């Protein structure tokens, strides 16, 4: 499959692109800034310039799958959380529907809720709105909900659950492997699951969701 | 106040612009197509080119109020309903927040519901998501919910209710007068109300919500 990675320059997404490039699928790295291109050129990975605040159909067209790994991050205002994590994600979902990219893997988070009262409620609400929108489509979606992201090396051992609340660490490398792994596992379609560090080999865990 | 009218070329919104131009406020007509400009030039009304599928901050900047009267209409696909009526509206709300346009009058509809199962559920859901997003902001909003729009001349007589379900006709001229009238009525702030043809003089009705 040709797989568009949205937010490709992020830490987790860069791992995603590397794993895809080493595997059977063909990644297309969606980046916002031409200055981010060199990294992907070095990986031999094609890039497409697109911005979630603008139409992205030119990026999605011709792709079979989307991995949505974009995020406005903690350094921007709450307006960007709505523009990127909420309506930017919905825009990507609509573009996947219109352009026939039927497989959609969403990088979400634990504890997202449209009525969140958490310390980062604006983020948890935005993510929940996007996830809920995705669930109402007929796309072959998977929603992966990690905990606190770490830069620890992949252990290849995780814990998954259909219960997408809670807390704990998730290494970005394990997370990236899960996002990519879902593409080949039919059982993950139309599922949401939490992903934390744990004791179960990743592939076995993904097959259990 | 300087009032941005989003979707100005629509039937109701053109009435809105005319009423604003004849009154104490200064309209700015937001249009997508330069070909729509002549109509507003003839009215002596300033226009700004902007598209709800792209950032619109340049249009909102410097305005004190927004009247959102855009709609994807019944002739486009369901994707446009999401892109315009749902996330386009949320984009306008965010832009109003960021740019200090504190007064926001939303042209909504009766029977909107995020779980709508109506014949036009995709539309009712999209509008409900946008309205709910607006209610969660600190903007001075008013949400006006008309029934089936008609081209009948304004009677100046309406029926309003905080109950925003039901059905019945609403003339576009009465609706436009209500959208404009709200701008000067503090009691309509943070309210949602239905607007149907009725027996109560418009101003009296608006003061009762």
Global pTM reads: 0.95
Distance CA A180, CA B208 (A): 57
A97 in contact with B, Cβ within 8 Å? yes
Query: What share of chain A in percent tops pLDDT 70?
Result: 100
Q: Is the pLDDT of residue A180 over 90?
A: yes
Distance CA A104, CA A107 (A): 10
Q: Is residue A171 very low, low, confident or very high in pLDDT (cuts 50, 70, 90)?
A: very high
A103 in contact with B, Cβ within 8 Å? no
Enumerate residues 129 to 148 of chain A having a beta carbon within 8 A of any beta carbon in chain B: 129, 133
Mean pLDDT (whole number) for A129-138: 98
Catalytic residue among A68, A123, A141, A193: A123
pLDDT tens per residue across span A18-38: 999 999 999 999 999 999 999
Q: Is the pLDDT of residue B75 over 90?
A: no
Active site residue B54: no
Q: Could you tell me if the ipTM is greater than 0.85?
A: yes
Give SS3 for A206: helix
Mean pLDDT (whole number) for B201-209: 98
Q: Do B53 and A55 touch (CB under 8 A)?
A: yes
Q: Where are the alpha helices (DSSP H) in chain B?
A: 11-21, 37-42, 57-60, 78-80, 87-99, 121-135, 172-182, 202-207
Q: Is the pLDDT of residue A74 over 90?
A: no
Mean pLDDT (whole number) for A188-193: 98
- Whether the CA torsion B137, B143, B149, B152 is positive or negative: it is negative
Name residue, tokens 């519901």: B113
- HEC string for A47-99: EEECCCCCCCHHHHCCCCEEEECCCCCCCCCHHHHHHHHHHHHHHHHHHHHHH
Q: Do B55 and A55 touch (CB under 8 A)?
A: no
DSSP state of A17: H
Strands A157-161 and A191-197, by their bridges, are: antiparallel
Query: What share of chain B in percent tops pLDDT 90?
Result: 98
Identify the pLDDT of residue B37.
Answer: 97
**HSE-up of residue A62 (Cα within 13 Å, Cβ side):** 6
Q: Is residue B73 very low, low, confident or very high in pLDDT (cuts 50, 70, 90)?
A: confident
Residue A82 main-chain phi, psi, to 5 deg? -70, -45
Question: Closest-CA residue in chain A for B122?
Answer: A136
Q: Is the pLDDT of residue A66 over 90?
A: yes
Q: Is the pLDDT of residue A75 over 90?
A: no
Contacts of B53 in chain A (CB under 8 A): 54-55
In angstroms, the first-to-last Cα distance of chain B is: 22
pLDDT tens per residue across span B27-38: 999 999 999 999
- Whether the CA torsion A24, A28, A30, A31 is positive or negative: it is positive
Q: Mutating which of B56, B80, B81, B82 best tests the A interface, going by the most A Cβ atoms within 10 A?
A: B82
Give SS3 for B184: coil
Q: Is the pLDDT of residue B74 over 90?
A: no
Identify the pLDDT of residue A121.
Answer: 96
Q: Hey, what are B41's tokens?
A: 């030039």
B124 in contact with A, Cβ within 8 Å? no
Which residue among B54, B55, B79 sits closest to A97, beta carbon to beta carbon? B79
Q: Hey, what are B36's tokens?
A: 């729509």
């Amino acid at each position: 499959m040709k797989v568009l990675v949205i937010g490709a320059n992020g830490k987790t997404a860069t791992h995603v692109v590397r794993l895809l490039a080493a595997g059977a699928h063909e990644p297309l790295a969606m980046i916002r800034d031409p200055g981010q291109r060199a990294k992907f050129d070095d990986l031999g990975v094609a890039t497409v310039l697109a911005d979630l605040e603008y139409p992205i159909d030119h990026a999605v067209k011709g792709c079979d799958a989307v991995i949505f790994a974009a995020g406005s991050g903690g350094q921007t205002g709450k307006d960007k959380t709505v523009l990127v994590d909420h309506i930017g994600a919905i825009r990507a979902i609509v573009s996947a529907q219109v352009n026939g990219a039927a497989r959609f893997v969403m990088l979400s988070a634990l504890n997202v809720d449209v009525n969140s009262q958490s310390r980062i409620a604006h983020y948890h609400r935005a993510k929940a709105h996007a996830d809920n929108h995705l669930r109402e489509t007929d796309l072959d979606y998977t929603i992966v909900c990690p905990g606190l992201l770490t830069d620890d090396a992949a252990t290849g051992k995780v814990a998954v659950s259909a219960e997408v609340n809670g807390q704990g660490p998730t290494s970005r490398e394990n997370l990236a492997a899960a996002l990519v792994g879902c593409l080949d596992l039919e059982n993950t379609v139309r599922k949401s699951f939490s992903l934390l560090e744990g004791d179960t080999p990743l592939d076995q865990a993904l097959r259990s969701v």
